[in-house]
Structures are given as structure tokens and as C-alpha cells.
Amino acid sequence: MRKFKVGIIGCGAIGTALARVLIRDRKLSFRAVLSAVSDKDPKQAEKLLARIGKKLPVVSIPAIVKHCDFIIEAAHPGISSSVASLALKNNKYVLIMSVGGLLKFPFNRLKALIAKTSGRLYCPSGAIAGVDALLATQTTKGLRRVRLKTTKPLRALKGAPYFEKHPFPVFKSGEEKKLIFRGNALQASRAFPQNINVAAILSLAGLGPQKTEVEIWAAQIAGTNRHEICIEGDFGTIRTTTDNFPAPDNPKTSYLAILSAEATLRKAFTTLRLGT
């Protein structure tokens, strides 16, 4: 059986975790082989290769897309739409982690690109629960409302473009919570590009970026990010809550997002595919 050549763009917490899975998971390594990596910081690429104990080519993004069959983007929302576009135009399989960056595409252009390619676009659920049920509702016209309420510690929101025009919240006591943003998923992904990949995956799976409602709350909570989702339609109401611990290698990334990416990668290469 021919093995899929896999290339990883972005050699940080998620890229390294996925590289490890590709090497260690026996079933996966039977079907896929890590063949090259890419990072804007060559030291990060070398660090990943040292951690997995492999000598592999460190190449540019176009070279990864050209030489690999399955491309993983785990780098930055600023490049995810161009990586997805290049991969799909070349009929490759591509797994995008910086899903928020995909909303840069007008929604219809993304759909048109997907319709034309024989490649595949994978977007993991990330740090939320409920995407499987949301996808199931696509078979009806009865999906009415999709809402996301995200609560993050103040420090996780630092550096977001939103605070170039709005004051950064200051809390007097440890108990305080503050609503800092209310809008749709498109606005949320522009204002908080590094924080709100979950809004993007909900949009793509549900009503689209303009109709997916997002609230972002800041709190003095230590450690966890909370995502509460409410989906309403003819089928009833779906409510989910995840309280996410940070990933050991990157406190800005939820550990569940890494587990979700690993599960998506395994599912791409397995025969038994559970869930919607």
C-alpha cells in the first residue's frame, strides 16, 4: 500500500504533537509517513525534529505542498487560508488548525474551491464539543441559531487586535467577569484571530460566519478556557460546555484542541469512522 507523505507547517505545540502521533501510532504509520516540515523560524523546525529523533527536510510552504500528499497547517491564522487554497488547488489533503484564518475567504469562495478539488479539507472540532451534532442538523433546514460564549483568563486575550481600539479590561477583584465582545464569528475572528478558532469551526459547520453569534468574556479564572455552545432548531436545543486545561507546551492552546487534531488525523486514515 502506498503511504501518504505528510508535511507539517508550524512546528510548535500542535505540530510537534501531530508529528509524534505520526511516528508512534502504529496504525497511522502503516498508512502515512512524516516527510518534511516547515516553520518561519528554522530553530523551531530543528527543535521538532530533535524531539522526534528524525532527520527530515526543512522546506518552504510551496515545497511542502508540492511534495506531500497530506499537509498539516499548525502555524498562524495569517497563512491558513493561503495554505488551504494552495493545497486544494493542487488536489491535496489539508488539515487546517488556524481555522479562524479560513474566514478570510469569502464563505462562497471557500465553498467553490471545495467543490472543484479532488483534495480534502479537514478542520478539527478543537476545544469544543457539539460539532458532530451541529453537522447532523445540516440535513434539515431547521437550524435557527448558533451561539458561542467563550470565557478566557485576561492574560490569554493580551495582544489581540481588538485592544488596539478598545481598552484592555482591568479587574479590581479576583471574582470579576466582564463581557468584552459581542458580534458575529467573522467580526470575532478579525478581533481575536489567535483566540477564536472555535467560532470559525462552528460557522463552517453551521450557519456561516455572519450568522454565528459570539460573546467573549474576560475573567480572572486561572488556567482554564470555557466554551459554552447553544444550538437551536427544529430538532430541539443542544447545549455543551467545555472547561479546557492549557496544553503543556503552549498555555494559549487548549489541550483538548491537540487531542482533537490527533483524532482528526487518525480518522483521516482509518476504516472505522465513528461520530457524525
Ligand X SMILES: NC(=O)c1ccc[n+]([C@@H]2O[C@H](COP(=O)([O-])OP(=O)(O)OC[C@H]3O[C@@H](n4cnc5c(N)ncnc54)[C@H](O)[C@@H]3O)[C@@H](O)[C@H]2O)c1
Letter for the amino acid at 261? A
Nearer to ligand X, 119 or 124 (CB): 124
Biggest CA pair distance of the chain? 62
- Measured from each CB, the residue nearest to ligand X is 12
Q: Does 158 bind ligand X (CB under 6 A)?
A: no
What span, in angstroms and rounded, lies between the C-alpha atoms of 37 and 216?
34
Annotation says 67 is catalytic: no
Q: Shortest Cβ distance from residue 212 to ligand X (Å)?
A: 15
Q: Does 41 bind ligand X (CB under 6 A)?
A: yes
Q: Shortest Cβ distance from residue 13 to ligand X (Å)?
A: 4
Q: Which of residues 184-223 bind ligand X (CB under 6 A)?
A: 194, 197-198
Q: Shortest Cβ distance from residue 8 to ligand X (Å)?
A: 10
Q: Does 13 bind ligand X (CB under 6 A)?
A: yes
Q: Does 74 bind ligand X (CB under 6 A)?
A: yes
What span, in angstroms and rounded, lies between the C-alpha atoms of 254 and 80?
19
Give 210-253 as a 3 state SS string: CCEEEEEEEECCCCCEEEEEEEEECCEEEEEEEEECEECCEEEE
Q: Does 257 bind ligand X (CB under 6 A)?
A: yes
Cβ count near 127 (within 10 Å): 25
Nearer to ligand X, 31 or 148 (CB): 148
Piece in contact with ligand X (CB under 6 A), picked from 4-12, 22-30, 102-110, 217-225: 4-12
SS3 state at 149: strand
Instruction: For residue 230, give the nearest of 126, 150, 152, 176 by alpha carbon.
Output: 150
Q: Cα 119 from chain centroid?
A: 19
The vertex-249 CA angle with 85 and 223, nearest 5°, equals 105
Q: Does 253 bind ligand X (CB under 6 A)?
A: yes
Q: Does 99 bind ligand X (CB under 6 A)?
A: yes
Among residues 67, 76, 166, 227, the one annotated as catalytic is 227
User: Which residues in this chain contact ligand X in the complex, by CB under 6 A?
Assistant: 9-15, 39-41, 44, 74-79, 97-99, 124, 126-127, 194, 197-198, 250, 253, 257
- Residues annotated as catalytic (active site), given as ranges: 227
